[in-house]
């Protein structure tokens, strides 16, 4: 069954699209969330049209008043979005037509191609700002727990084997670095979004005497000095989806960081490790086993990362074979970025909540880190300090480890005479290297886990967060 010709572009058609095509082609069910940006863009565009004499002052007033009425109705959820008008842009134009006849002039000198490109740039600027704010809250939570646990030590791992001791603070500061880089990534996406494509038209601009700087300025697409920034090529402006890829990528990297943190904490929380206890508020029980308290928030965070990475992949696959410029395929660009935004937003909040309620079990941490094997490398360094070549020192300490295994005793309890027999440079003080506090204090180089370094890093991050 065919519908009557479509109201906005139906001039050349004798029949409207099939119901099936309407259902298939509509995007308003998901792009309606661009409505606030679309209204802003409509306001700026019509103000520009008035400034160049293509709208009267009265027409502009009527359009702006009408758009404000619509904005309120949309915010209250009172607007009925219609699939027959395809997308948010045409729905808003149609709704405005019912308020003022001047609405018929609103689409002068533009296309939905440059319109949607402009709307999404406003969305990306907003979205990046929100991500940065959420990342900063997460950093705040990590810093608080790190500060509290400067004197709690745990084994650091490589290959998931105990490697060397670190303070909990140093480990948490590693996460701070990761999420700090994520902030930088979102700031760069914001900067790339800050160029106005409006005025590019469908593909080749317009013959009408528009003022692109006017709209760019009105919409806040300006540099640090307030100078308007307009995209330099009309074809690129309507075909370009780099921001979608960049934003989705920034989300993927952050989600990957979240997933790795989640994995660490899941391991720390396991009965075998028991380094941390998690807040009840972010765990769930088992419907069968009464004793269970499962780290579900962390497992979901790990799981969501797959979905967010998938969104990025699907955008690349969608864009890669498209000829310039706009193709309707590009309408499929929005669900993925909206999903990445929504899922990452809630993930960041959930990780922040989980971190805030996380407590380190000091006795368990102390027991794990008391393993003197963690300081075997320090013993090799001790020999190096006495002039032994590192390879030789490594070999000597390896022999000591083997001896410990043979005697079934920890490294620092191997009888002094047997240890000293391994190398002439093993003095009576060799056991001192197994003093944990001393070992940590010996690591005060830049980026190392020495207590002064940690205090410096904590202070630096706290200052940068304000």
Task: Count the site residues for ligand ARG by CB under 6 A.
Answer: 10
Q: Which is nearer to ligand ARG, 325 or 343 (CB)?
A: 325
Judged by CB under 6 A, which of 331, 354, 412, 453 binds ligand ARG? 331
146-159 burial, b for 16+ CB within 10 Å, e for fewer? bbebbebbbbbeee
Q: Is there binding between residue 330 and ligand ARG (CB under 6 A)?
A: yes
User: Closest distance between ligand ARG and the C-beta of residue 1, in Å?
Assistant: 23
Q: Is there binding between residue 116 and ligand ARG (CB under 6 A)?
A: yes
| 164, HSE (Cβ side, Cα atoms, 13 Å) | 15
User: Closest distance between ligand ARG and the C-beta of residue 202, in Å?
Assistant: 7
Pull the structure tokens for residue 237.
């402006």
Of 228, 218, 244, the closest CA to residue 41 belongs to 218
User: Closest distance between ligand ARG and the C-beta of residue 200, in Å?
Assistant: 12
User: Closest distance between ligand ARG and the C-beta of residue 282, in Å?
Assistant: 37
Work out the number of other CB atoms within 10 angstroms of the CB of residue 54: 17
Q: Which is nearer to ligand ARG, 10 or 180 (CB)?
A: 10
Residue 154 in 3-state DSSP? strand
User: Closest distance between ligand ARG and the C-beta of residue 196, in Å?
Assistant: 17
Q: Which is nearer to ligand ARG, 85 or 430 (CB)?
A: 85
Task: For residues 193 and 121, give the distance between their C-alpha atoms in angstroms, rounded to a whole number.
Answer: 5
Judged by CB under 6 A, which of 326, 341, 430, 434 binds ligand ARG? 326
Q: Which is nearer to ligand ARG, 27 or 354 (CB)?
A: 27
User: Closest distance between ligand ARG and the C-beta of residue 366, in Å?
Assistant: 58
286 among known catalytic residues: yes
Q: Where are the beta strands (DSSP E) in 297-433?
A: 359-360
Q: Is there binding between residue 241 and ligand ARG (CB under 6 A)?
A: no
User: Closest distance between ligand ARG and the C-beta of residue 123, in Å?
Assistant: 12
Q: Which is nearer to ligand ARG, 62 or 114 (CB)?
A: 114
Phi, psi (deg, nearest 5) at residue 396: -60, -45
Instruction: Please say whether the dihedral angle defined by the alpha carbons of residues 343, 346, 349 and 353, taken in this order, is positive or negative.
Output: negative
Pull the structure tokens for residue 54.
């293509």
Q: Is there binding between residue 118 and ligand ARG (CB under 6 A)?
A: no
Residue 12 in 3-state DSSP? helix
Q: Is there binding between residue 325 and ligand ARG (CB under 6 A)?
A: no
Residue in 14, 51, 107, 159 annotated catalytic: 159
Ordered DSSP codes for 82-133: -GGG-SHHHHHHHHHHHH-GGGGGTTTT--HHHHHHHHHHHHHHHHHHHHHH
What is the per-residue binding string for ligand ARG in 95-114, x denoting contact by CB under 6 A?
A: -----------------xx-
Pull the structure tokens for residue 425.
């440079």
CA 358 to chain centre: 22
Residue in 29, 270, 286, 464 annotated catalytic: 286
Piece of 212-220, 272-280, 326-334, 410-418 that binds ligand ARG (CB under 6 A) = 326-334
What is the per-residue binding string for ligand ARG in 17-36, x denoting contact by CB under 6 A?
A: ----------x---x-----
Contact (Cβ atoms closer than 8 angstroms) between residue 258 and residue 246:
no
Give the residues across from 109 on adjacent strands. Answer: none
Task: For residues 367 and 217, give the distance between their C-alpha atoms in angstroms, rounded to a whole number.
Answer: 62
Q: Which is nearer to ligand ARG, 24 or 390 (CB)?
A: 24
Contact (Cβ atoms closer than 8 angstroms) between residue 375 and residue 433:
yes
Q: Which is nearer to ligand ARG, 117 or 388 (CB)?
A: 117
The interface with ligand ARG within residues 69-98 (CB under 6 A) comprises 87
Residues marked as catalytic: 159, 286
Q: Which stretches of the chain bind ligand ARG, using CB under 6 A?
A: 27, 31, 87, 112-113, 116, 326, 328, 330-331
């Amino acid at each position: 069954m065919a519908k009557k010709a479509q109201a906005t572009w139906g001039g050349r058609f004798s029949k409207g699209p099939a119901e099936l095509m309407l259902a298939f082609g509509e995007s308003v069910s998901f792009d309606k969330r661009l409505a606030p940006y679309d209204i802003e863009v409509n306001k700026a565009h019509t103000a520009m049209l008035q400034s160049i004499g293509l709208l009267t002052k009265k027409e502009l007033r009527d359009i702006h008043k009408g758009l404000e009425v619509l904005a309120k109705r949309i915010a209250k959820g009172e607007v009925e979005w219609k699939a027959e008008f395809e997308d948010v842009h045409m729905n808003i134009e149609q709704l405005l037509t019912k308020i003022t006849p001047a609405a018929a002039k609103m689409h002068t000198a533009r296309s939905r191609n440059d319109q949607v490109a402009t709307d999404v740039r406003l969305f990306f600027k907003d979205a990046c700002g929100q991500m940065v704010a959420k990342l900063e809250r997460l950093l705040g939570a990590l810093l608080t727990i790190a500060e509290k646990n400067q004197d709690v030590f745990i084994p650091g791992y490589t290959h998931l084997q105990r490697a060397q001791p670190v303070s909990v603070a140093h480990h948490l500061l590693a996460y701070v670095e990761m999420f700090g880089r994520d902030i930088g990534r979102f700031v760069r996406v914001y900067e790339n979004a800050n160029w106005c494509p409006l005025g590019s038209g469908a593909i080749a601009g317009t013959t009408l005497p528009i003022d692109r700087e006017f709209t760019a300025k009105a919409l806040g697409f300006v540099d640090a000095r307030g100078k308007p920034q307009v995209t330099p090529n009309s074809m690129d402006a309507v075909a370009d989806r780099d921001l979608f890829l960049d934003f989705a990528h920034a989300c993927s990297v952050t989600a990957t960081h979240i997933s790795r943190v989640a994995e660490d904490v899941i391991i720390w929380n396991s009965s075998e490790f028991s380094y941390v206890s998690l807040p009840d508020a972010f765990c769930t029980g088992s419907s069968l086993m009464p004793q269970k308290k499962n780290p579900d928030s962390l497992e979901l965070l790990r799981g969501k990362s797959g979905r967010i990475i998938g969104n990025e992949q699907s955008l690349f696959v969608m864009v890669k074979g498209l000829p310039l410029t706009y193709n309707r395929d590009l309408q499929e660009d929005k669900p993925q970025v909206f999903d990445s935004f929504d899922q990452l937003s809630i993930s960041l909040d959930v990780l922040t909540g989980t971190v805030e309620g996380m407590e380190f079990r000091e006795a368990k941490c102390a027991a794990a880190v008391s393993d003197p094997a963690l300081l075997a490398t320090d013993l090799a360094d001790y020999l190096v300090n006495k002039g032994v070549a590192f390879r030789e020192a490594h070999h000597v300490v390896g022999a000591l480890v083997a001896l410990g295994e043979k005697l079934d005793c920890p490294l620092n309890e191997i009888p002094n005479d047997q240890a000293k027999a391994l190398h002439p440079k093993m003095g009576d003080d060799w056991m001192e290297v197994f003093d944990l506090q001393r070992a940590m204090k010996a690591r005060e180089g830049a980026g190392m886990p020495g207590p002064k370094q940690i205090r410096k890093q904590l202070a630096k991050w706290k200052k940068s967060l304000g």
